[in-house]
Each structure stands twice: as C-alpha cells, then as structure tokens.
Amino acid sequence: MLEIHGVTRSRASRIVWLCHELDLPFRQIPVIQAYRLPDPDAPDAPPNTRSPEFLALSPAGAIPVIRDGDLVLTESLACNLHIARQHGGVMAPENAAEDALMQQWSLYAATAIEPDALQVLYLHKPGQAQPGEVQAQVANAAERLIRPLRVIDQHLAQHSHMVGDRFTVADINVAEIIRYAQGHHELMSQFPAIRAWLERCQSRPAFAKMWQERLAEPE
C-alpha cells in the first residue's frame, strides 16, 4: 500500500487530494514539521522532520515523502506525477505530449508562482494592521505574481483545465500552489479564469474530503 509520510497541513495535501480522486488506498504517517513543536528532539516528541527514523527515509528532513513499493520519493509534485502515471486513469497523461505538459505546468507553478504565493500566504492579513515593511513585502510579492498568473489565466481562458481539457494531476499541482495566494482578493480579482477554475477544482468531493482532514489536524 502507498505510504504518505507527512501531516496534511503541508504539501502532502496535494498527494492526499490526488489519492482521494483516485480512490487509491494509502497509509498516512503523520510526520509533523519540527518547527511546529516546542522540542522536536524530546523523547516523547511525535514523529517529526528531525526524528532519526524520518531522516533515514528523507535526509533533507522535509515532508512529504511517499513510499510506493521499493520506491521512495520526495518533492510533492514529483510524487503526484508518479502516482498519476502509476494509478491515474483519466488523471494521468494519455501520451508523451501530455506527460511533458503536466511536468511543464507543475514546474512552472513551483518556480514562477510558489515562492511569492507563499509570501502572500504568510504575510497578508486582511483587516489587520501591519507594519509598513510587511505591507511592502506583500505588495512586492503580489506584483511579481501578476505576470505568471496572467500566463495561467490566459491559458485557462482558452482551456477548461491545465492539460487535455479534463481534470488531471496537473490541475491539482497548480491549484494547490495558487491556493496560497487565493486570500489576496485584490490580486486574484485580476484573473477571472483562474478564479472560476479554482472554484471548480475546490468544489470537487475529493478536495473537500482532503480539506476536512486537514482542518481536523492541530494547527
């Protein structure tokens, strides 16, 4: 059975969502980020990214990690692309061209969008007074996001989904990255095709199931 090492309040959410889409059984080992614990090295600390057992599996000490038979994979997007190829049905690429496009969009989102989207997620607090320096950081991150989000928006204005005009692993990979900036309404209002597509993606039962599991975990 597929193993997912990592709590759902992490990039493991992408993998859990895909598994729910596929009705793919998995065993989740709730490894938590060490920085979220008061003393991750304490004898009674829960499994975390500094636990020796986890570091033996992933020397980088980052979640998520999957184990699929003898294969151990890190990097959540690579994990999802692998799972889709192995178990994906309509979620998987139908040919080499679709496989390349799924990799392209996943890597584009990871490199061109995720760093600044995470900045927005961590720093943007609507309705709360914030220091000018923080406001400037959010504004700069949002400004940098305009160009890559416009690329995605223009693509989705012409296509119902990221690849193949059907819901695939590429939609999960990209949607879970753009979600980080979703709370910046002024930014996202510029991209109607993305907003409509995100609503469709996040209205899927598998996303709702993953999200409820995520919310049930300690913050």
For the segment 45-54, the average pLDDT, to the nearest whole number, is 94
Predicted confidence band of residue 124 (pLDDT cuts 50, 70, 90)? confident
CA separation for the pair 81, 77 (Å, rounded): 6
In the predicted model, is pLDDT for residue 128 greater than 80? no
**Count of structural domains within the chain:** 2
Q: Same domain, yes or no, for 31 and 120?
A: no
Q: Give the residue among 85, 82, 105, 80 at the shortest CA–CA distance from 95.
A: 85
pLDDT at 127: 64
Q: Same domain, yes or no, for 11 and 58?
A: yes
CA separation for the pair 105, 84 (Å, rounded): 15
Q: Give residue 143's domain range.
A: 93-204
Instruction: Give per-residue pLDDT as tens, 2-27.
Output: 999 999 999 999 999 999 999 999 99
Instruction: Give per-residue pLDDT as tens, 51-73.
Output: 999 999 999 999 999 999 999 99
Backbone angles phi, psi at 13, to 5 degrees: -55, -35
Mean pLDDT estimate for the chain:
94
69, 90, 111: which is the final residue of a domain? Answer: 90
Return the structure tokens found at 131: 């220091």
- If you write DSSP's letter for every residue of 164-176 in order, what string do you get? TTB--HHHHHHHH
| Torsion angle of the four alpha carbons 24, 25, 27, 28, in this order, in degrees rounded to the nearest 10 | 40
pLDDT at 129: 66
90, 119, 151: which is the final residue of a domain? Answer: 90
Q: Same domain, yes or no, for 40 and 52?
A: yes
Predicted TM-score (pTM) of this structure: 0.94
| Torsion angle of the four alpha carbons 200, 127, 209, 180, in this order, in degrees rounded to the nearest 10 | 70
Position 131 in a domain: yes
